[in-house]
Amino acid sequence: MKKTTNLLWGGRFNEKSSNLLKKINDSIEFDYKLANEDIMLNRSYVESLYKANLLSLKEYKKIKIGLDQIKEDIKKGKFKFSNAYEDIHMNIEMALKKKIGKLAGKIHTGKSRNDQVATDIKLWIKSKLGYLIFKINKIQKTIIKKAENNLDVIMPGFTHSQNAQPILFSHYLLSFFEMFERDKRRAIQLLDGIDECPLGSGALAGTNFFEINRKELAKSLGFRKPTENSLDSVSNRDFMIEFLSLLSILSMHFSRLAEDFIIWSSSAYDLLKFPDNLCTGSSIMPQKKNPDAAELVRSKCGRIYSSLLNLLIIQKGLPSGYSKDLQEDKEPVFDANETIDLLLDIVNEMIGLVNINKEKMYNLANIGFVTATDLADWLVMNTNLTFREAHLKTGKIVLMAEQKKKKLSDLSLQDLKRIEPKITKDIFNFLSIERSVSNKKSYGGTSSSEVKEAIKRAKKKI
Ligand code: ARG
Residue 38 reports pLDDT greater than 70: yes
Please identify which of the residues 160, 267, 283, 442 carries the catalytic annotation. 160
- The alpha carbon of 103 and the centre of ligand 1 are apart by a number of angstroms equal to 23
- The alpha carbon of 97 and the centre of ligand 1 are apart by a number of angstroms equal to 20
Is 292 a domain residue? yes
- The alpha carbon of 117 and the centre of ligand 1 are apart by a number of angstroms equal to 7
Substitution site in 21, 25, 38, 114 for ligand 1 pocket (most atoms within 8 Å of beta carbon) = 114
Task: Determine contact, residues 239/272, Cβ cutoff 8 Å.
Answer: no
Whether 241 and 264 share a structural domain: yes
C-beta of 27 in contact with ligand 1 (< 6 A): yes
Please identify which of the residues 127, 266, 282, 320 carries the catalytic annotation. 282
Phi/psi for 62 (5° steps) reads -60, -45
User: According to the model, what pLDDT value does residue 209 have?
Assistant: 86
User: According to the model, what pLDDT value does residue 168 have?
Assistant: 98
Read off the pLDDT band of 235 (50, 70, 90).
Answer: very high
Whether 92 and 229 share a structural domain: no
User: According to the model, what pLDDT value does residue 3 have?
Assistant: 53
Residue 185 reports pLDDT greater than 90: yes
Whether 142 and 254 share a structural domain: yes
Whether 224 and 257 share a structural domain: yes
- The alpha carbon of 26 and the centre of ligand 1 are apart by a number of angstroms equal to 9
Whether 193 and 81 share a structural domain: no
Nearest Cα to Cα of residue 239 among 89, 319, 341, 124 = 124
Residue 282 annotated as catalytic = yes
Substitution site in 327, 328, 330, 333 for ligand 1 pocket (most atoms within 8 Å of beta carbon) = 327
188 residue type, one letter: I
Ligand 1, atom 12, lies closest to the CA of: 327
User: According to the model, what pLDDT value does residue 285 have?
Assistant: 86
User: According to the model, what pLDDT value does residue 14 have?
Assistant: 87
Residue 186 reports pLDDT greater than 60: yes
| List of residues 6+ apart from 322 with CB closer than 8 A | 114, 203, 204, 234, 235
Whether 173 and 300 share a structural domain: yes
The string of pLDDT tens digits covering residues 348-378 is 999 999 999 999 999 999 999 999 999 999 9
Substitution site in 87, 112, 121 for ligand 1 pocket (most atoms within 8 Å of beta carbon) = 87
The string of pLDDT tens digits covering residues 138-166 is 999 999 999 999 999 999 999 999 999 99
Residue 320 annotated as catalytic = no
Is 433 a domain residue? no
Ligand 1, atom 4, lies closest to the CA of: 327
C-beta of 114 in contact with ligand 1 (< 6 A): yes
Task: Output the pTM of the full model.
Answer: 0.95
Substitution site in 31, 93, 117, 199 for ligand 1 pocket (most atoms within 8 Å of beta carbon) = 117
- The alpha carbon of 40 and the centre of ligand 1 are apart by a number of angstroms equal to 18
Whether 195 and 323 share a structural domain: yes
Cα 79 to Cα 68: distance, rounded to the nearest angstrom: 12
Whether 323 and 206 share a structural domain: yes
Whether 213 and 299 share a structural domain: yes
What average pLDDT does the chain have?
Answer: 96
Ligand 1 closest atom vs CA 113: 6
User: According to the model, what pLDDT value does residue 1 have?
Assistant: 44
Provide mean pLDDT across the span 162-186: 98
Ligand 1 closest atom vs CA 322: 10
Whether 95 and 81 share a structural domain: yes
Ligand 1 closest atom vs CA 330: 4
Ligand 1 closest atom vs CA 326: 12
Read off the pLDDT band of 16 (50, 70, 90).
Answer: confident
Is 304 a domain residue? yes
Is 145 a domain residue? yes
User: According to the model, what pLDDT value does residue 438 have?
Assistant: 97
Is 4 a domain residue? no
Whether 135 and 72 share a structural domain: no
The string of pLDDT tens digits covering residues 420-450 is 999 999 999 999 999 999 999 999 999 999 9
Domain limit, last residue, from 109, 134, 166 = 109
pLDDT > 70: what percent of the chain?
A: 99
C-beta of 117 in contact with ligand 1 (< 6 A): yes
- The total of structural domains in the chain comes to 2
Nearest Cα to Cα of residue 304 among 264, 344, 274 = 344
Ligand 1, atom 2, lies closest to the CA of: 327
- The alpha carbon of 382 and the centre of ligand 1 are apart by a number of angstroms equal to 74
Residue 176 reports pLDDT greater than 90: yes
- The alpha carbon of 177 and the centre of ligand 1 are apart by a number of angstroms equal to 41
Is 229 a domain residue? yes
- The alpha carbon of 100 and the centre of ligand 1 are apart by a number of angstroms equal to 25
The string of pLDDT tens digits covering residues 42-86 is 999 999 999 999 999 999 999 999 999 999 999 999 999 999 999
Domain limit, last residue, from 49, 84, 109 = 109
- The alpha carbon of 235 and the centre of ligand 1 are apart by a number of angstroms equal to 11
Ligand 1, atom 11, lies closest to the CA of: 324
Residue bearing the bigger pLDDT, 244 or 6: 244
Is 31 a domain residue? yes
Ligand 1 closest atom vs CA 324: 12
C-beta of 322 in contact with ligand 1 (< 6 A): yes
Whether 56 and 160 share a structural domain: no
Query: Which range marks the domain in which residue 96 is found?
Result: 17-109
CATH of the domain at 62: 1.10.275.10
User: According to the model, what pLDDT value does residue 309 have?
Assistant: 98
Domain limit, last residue, from 86, 109, 132 = 109
Residue 232 reports pLDDT greater than 50: yes
Provide mean pLDDT across the span 246-270: 97
CATH of the domain at 200: 1.20.200.10
User: According to the model, what pLDDT value does residue 397 have?
Assistant: 97
User: According to the model, what pLDDT value does residue 163 have?
Assistant: 96
Is 437 a domain residue? no
Substitution site in 34, 324, 329 for ligand 1 pocket (most atoms within 8 Å of beta carbon) = 324
